[in-house]
């Protein structure tokens, strides 16, 4: 009879429940949201099978004839749509799709309707999309091992995909090798509490006042390396939570306090691996890996003859390079090292997270204090950046000093790097009774040309407000040749991202909001007013707010007119005139702009 006296001795693989011949083992969830086996002593016959199948109890005994060191490759799928929709380079699909087409079954993790995660086994190729991509919480593998064994006994082929502990559990459960079985494990740092993840989703639903309908961890629309958590809501809104600002990532990856206790003492690190093939991210320094265009690159480690033979069969679908193992380990320390201990009080965190708002607990307990040394380093970086930005010219340096130190409208913070940078050719007129709120840096006149004299102009009237940036993007910039006017008592908000492009015109009489990571082409015009002219038409209003959503692309010479709201992820084609609101994730073109494609995703 299996007995869990310390939680670190149970990885939650569910294999003991599958092996029990009397169904005496059920799983109960503790106060942290993790399940542990519970034995019904009236049903238990003390057969010991649960002990024999436990991967933790038998981690040093499991027979492993795999290679002592794997053969590693960096690889990407040739199909860009598959790669874009995958966590890394699309290698899971490259392995699984031909296996299914050849009549095989594939097992892996999928989201359930209530956003839990479940291990399934399927021969339906349409399920590959559900199986793709990371799920950041522990998956329920109840029934997984039993199903795989039955299929193998029936002569079917199975590709079993799971975490290292799950694959080790499967090997113990099967007790022998099967010719029709290929195992694939994932490079795993830890698994998170499902309970905490649901608290996180509840928090997002409150923030957006709508139900979650779609989740995509490590979404690539802002670039693979940003580790963006994309969440789409029933009301059409989209949340792009990058690694720097997402509160779940903050608690999980920075504080290490959401993981299962067994992850701190993981018994499934190092080599040889238990699976035939291992998959993960190939984190190489920028520019070193020719396959890396910030759309995701996989590392594929071949751990056995069976894995090597199968890899040969799928090479036509991929681009690949053999890479050094030490480079793989450098980018994936979790291959050989367990998760470091949490750096916050775990017991207090889980007690508070049950009763208090998710965001408040994370901000209070998972934030790293900013040291004096860090503040000094930030100030020095600010000074260096402005000197580089101005090419050490006196006029812009004096403008920089005046704006950030003496102008009453500008609320800068050198210790955080929230300042205004000024390039050599800027005409800046900001009323002393205006307000510039910096939640990140702001640049005037940024340009790829070192010696351009194209002027950047900004004018803010009395009572005008300019609110800039957030921690995700760092800040915002009005690029060279931009013309920005904010009228009396009007508000212009940019949540941060790329600078405006050459020739951008923004005319704000009431309110304009530019969402995070909005790409703006050359000579784009955004205006919330018609210039103050009166037209004798029933219901005519001269100025109405303009709201541009997150991750929108405004192509060259497009014009956004008053009263328009553009949904998240939408692309406005070149020379288009937008005079009506647009839904999220569409392409539009023309004058007036008309919808072309729907349900699109795109990468910056």
> Is residue 463 domain-resident?
yes
pLDDT for residue 471 is more than 60 = no
What average pLDDT score do residues 258-276 get? 94
What average pLDDT score do residues 442-471 get? 89
pLDDT for residue 165 is more than 70 = yes
| Residue 368 near residue 244, CB atoms below 8 Å | no
Quick one: tokens of 137? 């919480």
Strand-pair partners of 213: none
Last residue of a domain, one of 287, 315, 335: 335
- For residues 248 and 238, what is the distance between their CA atoms, to the nearest angstrom? 16
Burial of 87 per CB tally in 10 Å (0-12, 13-18, 19+)? buried
Residues 134 and 122 grouped into a single domain: yes
Residues 474 and 440 grouped into a single domain: yes
pLDDT for residue 472 is more than 60 = no
> Is residue 33 domain-resident?
no
What's the pLDDT score for residue 111? 96
> Is residue 53 domain-resident?
no
> Is residue 105 domain-resident?
yes
Q: How far, in Å, are 250, 441, 474, 519 from residue 241 at the CA level? A: 11, 19, 14, 17
pLDDT for residue 100 is more than 70 = yes
Q: Is residue 538 very low, low, confident or very high in pLDDT (cuts 50, 70, 90)? A: confident
How big is the chain by its Cα radius of gyration, in Å?
28
Q: Which of 211-215, 308-312, 353-357, 415-419 has the lowest mean pLDDT?
A: 415-419
How many folded domains does the chain comprise? 3
Q: What percent of the chain stands above pLDDT 90? A: 79
Any idea what the CATH number is for the domain that residue 504 is in?
2.160.10.10
Instruction: Show Cβ contacts of residue 250 under 8 Å, excluding neighbours closer than 6 positions.
Output: 362, 366, 367
What's the pLDDT score for residue 83? 95
Instruction: Show Cβ contacts of residue 478 under 8 Å, excluding neighbours closer than 6 positions.
Output: 442, 443, 444, 445, 446, 456, 458, 484, 499, 500, 504
Please name the residue ranges forming H helices in 320-436: 325-331, 346-355, 358-365, 372-390, 394-401
Residues 343 and 489 grouped into a single domain: no
Q: Is residue 317 very low, low, confident or very high in pLDDT (cuts 50, 70, 90)? A: very high
What average pLDDT score do residues 203-231 get? 94
Residues 329 and 198 grouped into a single domain: no
pLDDT for residue 452 is more than 90 = no
Residue span of the structural domain in which 218 resides: 194-258+338-368
What's the pLDDT score for residue 287? 65
> Is residue 41 domain-resident?
no
pLDDT for residue 9 is more than 80 = yes
> Is residue 275 domain-resident?
yes
What average pLDDT score do residues 558-587 get? 97
Residues 310 and 437 grouped into a single domain: no
What's the pLDDT score for residue 536? 77
Q: Is residue 248 very low, low, confident or very high in pLDDT (cuts 50, 70, 90)? A: very high
In the chain, DSSP finds a helix count (H) and a strand count (E) of 15, 35
Residues 403 and 287 grouped into a single domain: no
What is the arrangement of strands in the sheet containing 475-479, beginning at the earlier edge strand?
420-422, 441-446, 475-479
What's the pLDDT score for residue 503? 95
Mean pLDDT value across the chain: 93
Residues 248 and 303 grouped into a single domain: no
Q: How far, in Å, are 373, 377, 416 from residue 370 at the CA level? A: 8, 11, 9
């Amino acid at each position: 009879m299996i007995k869990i006296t310390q939680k670190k001795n149970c990885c939650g693989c569910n294999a003991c429940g599958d092996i029990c011949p009397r169904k005496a083992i059920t799983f109960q969830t503790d106060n942290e949201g993790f399940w542990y086996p519970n034995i019904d002593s009236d049903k238990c016959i003390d057969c010991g099978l649960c002990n024999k199948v436990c991967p933790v109890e038998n981690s040093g005994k499991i027979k492993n004839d795999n290679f002592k060191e794997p053969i590693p490759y960096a690889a990407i799928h040739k199909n860009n749509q598959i790669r874009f929709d995958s966590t890394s380079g699309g290698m899971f699909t490259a392995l699984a799709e031909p296996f299914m087409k050849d009549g095989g079954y594939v097992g892996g993790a999928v989201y359930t309707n209530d956003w839990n995660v479940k291990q399934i086994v399927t021969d339906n190729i349409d399920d590959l999309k559900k199986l793709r991509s990371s799920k950041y919480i522990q998956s329920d593998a109840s029934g997984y091992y039993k199903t795989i064994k039955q299929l193998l006994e029936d002569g079917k082929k199975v590709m079993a995909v799971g975490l290292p502990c799950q694959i080790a559990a499967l090997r113990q459960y099967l007790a022998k090798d099967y010719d029709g079985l290929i195992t694939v494990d994932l490079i795993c740092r830890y698994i998170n509490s499902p309970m905490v993840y649901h608290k996180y989703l509840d928090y997002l639903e409150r923030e957006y006042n709508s139900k979650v309908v779609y989740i995509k961890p490590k979404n690539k629309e802002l670039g693979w390396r940003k580790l963006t958590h994309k969440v789409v809501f029933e009301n059409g809104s989209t949340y792009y939570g990058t690694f720097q600002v997402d509160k779940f990532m903050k608690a999980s990856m920075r504080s290490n306090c959401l993981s299962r206790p067994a992850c701190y003492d993981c018994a499934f690190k190092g080599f040889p691996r238990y699976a035939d093939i291992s998959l993960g991210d190939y984190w190489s320094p920028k520019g070193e890996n020719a396959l890396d265009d910030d759309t995701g690159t996989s590392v594929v480690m071949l751990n056995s003859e069976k894995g090597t033979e199968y890899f040969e069969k799928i090479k036509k679908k991929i681009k690949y390079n053999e890479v050094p193992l030490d480079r793989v380990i450098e980018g994936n320390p979790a291959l050989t090292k367990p998760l470091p201990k949490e750096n916050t009080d775990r017991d207090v965190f889980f007690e508070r997270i049950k009763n208090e708002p998710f965001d408040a607990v994370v901000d209070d307990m998972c934030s790293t204090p900013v040291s004096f040394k860090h503040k000094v380093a930030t100030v020095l970086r600010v000074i260096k950046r402005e000197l580089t930005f101005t090419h050490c010219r006196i006029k812009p340096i004096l403008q920089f000093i005046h704006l950030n130190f003496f102008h009453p409208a500008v609320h800068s913070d050198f210790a955080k790097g929230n300042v205004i940078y000024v390039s050599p050719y800027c005409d800046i007129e900001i009323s002393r009774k205006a307000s510039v709120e910096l939640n990140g840096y702001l640049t005037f006149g940024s340009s790829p040309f070192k010696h351009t004299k194209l002027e950047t102009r900004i004018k803010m009237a009395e009572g005008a407000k300019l609110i800039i940036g957030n921690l995700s993007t760092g800040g915002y910039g009005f690029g060279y040749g931009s013309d920005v006017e904010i009228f009396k008592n009007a508000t212009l908000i940019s949540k941060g991202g790329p600078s405006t492009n050459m020739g951008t015109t923004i005319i704000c009489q009431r309110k304009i909001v530019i969402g995070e990571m909005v790409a703006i082409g050359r000579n784009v015009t955004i205006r919330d007013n018609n210039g103050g002219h009166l037209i004798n038409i029933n219901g005519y209003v001269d100025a109405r707010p303009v709201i541009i959503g997150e991750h929108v692309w405004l192509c060259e010479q497009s014009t956004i007119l008053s009263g328009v709201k553009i949904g998240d992820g939408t692309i406005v084609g070149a020379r288009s005139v937008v005079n009506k609101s647009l839904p999220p994730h569409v392409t539009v073109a023309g004058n007036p702009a008309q919808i072309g494609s729907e349900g699109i995703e795109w990468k910056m």
